[in-house]
Chains A and B, each alone.
Chain A
Amino acid sequence: NAGVTQTPKFQVLKTGQSMTLQCAQDMNHNSMYWYRQDPGMGLRLIYYSASEGTTDKGEVPNGYNVSRLNKREFSLRLESAAPSQTSVYFCASSEPRGKGETQYFGPGTRLLVL
């Protein structure tokens, strides 16, 4: 049982380049999330998917797109990377409210945009 996995672990991009961050979970959770972590700001929600086939914006969605490929996989795409998107990105999945509520996090992707 791997839990939540993310690829890549680390990436360096030049301004304007695009990339996709991959996330997969094997816990059969309906809901999945993408957060970014910046020093002194905690984690902020970028996008989430309450269930397969749905996605919604979080607190900081500008500059990102997501795809819920199937129940297991939820990807985050940066179409034109900017230095302000330098951050650590975490994917998570969760049990529904009333059935545990716990969010399980992946190990993170460190992204540096030059």
Chain B
Amino acid sequence: AQSVTQLGSHVSVSEGALVLLRCNYSSSVPPYLFWYVQYPNQGLQLLLKYTTGATLVKGINGFEAEFKKSETSFHLTKPSAHMSDAAEYFCAVSEGWGGAQKLVFGQGTRLTINP
């Protein structure tokens, strides 16, 4: 079965500093990988995804992630944190072929931005 591990349930950075949120996965098939963001009292919104092709993917709000097969990792980065980035971030891997895309989520990382 596929699984996702996010290192660090809480990450705190200063405004303007680098954001690095770590995600490692296990999968017996080529993975599709996702990062979602959740703002307080809202649903999840897709930040970016890797399916095939280029291993460095860019998403919304200046975030990017790199798929490293040898390290089974898909870490999320942003060069310069903004106060509006404070949220909870979820890494996910998808199971399934064709129709349904069952997502397996990590436990989430809460990002705090210090002024």
> Which A residues form the contact surface with B (CB < 8 A)?
4, 30-31, 33, 40-45, 48-51, 56, 58, 90, 92, 94-98, 101-108
Contact = CB atoms under 8 A, between A and B. Distances in A.
B46 A102 contact: yes
Given A30-B99, A97-B98, A103-B101, 11 more contacts: A33-B102, A42-B90, A44-B105, A48-B102, A49-B100, A95-B101, A96-B99, A97-B94, A103-B103, A105-B43, A107-B42
B101 A96 contact: yes
A89 B44 CA distance: 12
Contacts of A104: 46
A45 B93 CA distance: 13
Nearest to B94: A101
Chain B: number of interface residues, binned into ranges? 20 to 34
A96 B41 CA distance: 28
Interface of B: 4, 9, 32, 34, 36, 41-46, 49, 51, 90, 94, 96-108
Contacts of B43: 4, 90, 105-108
A45 B100 CA distance: 12
Nearest to B51: A101
29 contacts: A4-B43, A30-B99, A31-B99, A33-B103, A40-B9, A42-B106, A42-B108, A43-B90, A44-B105, A45-B104, A48-B100, A56-B100, A58-B102, A90-B43, A90-B44, A95-B101, A96-B98, A96-B101, A98-B98, A101-B49, A103-B34, A103-B44, A103-B46, A105-B36, A105-B45, A106-B43, A107-B43, A108-B42, A108-B43
Contacts of A105: 36, 43-45
A31 B90 contact: no
B101 to A, nearest CB: 5
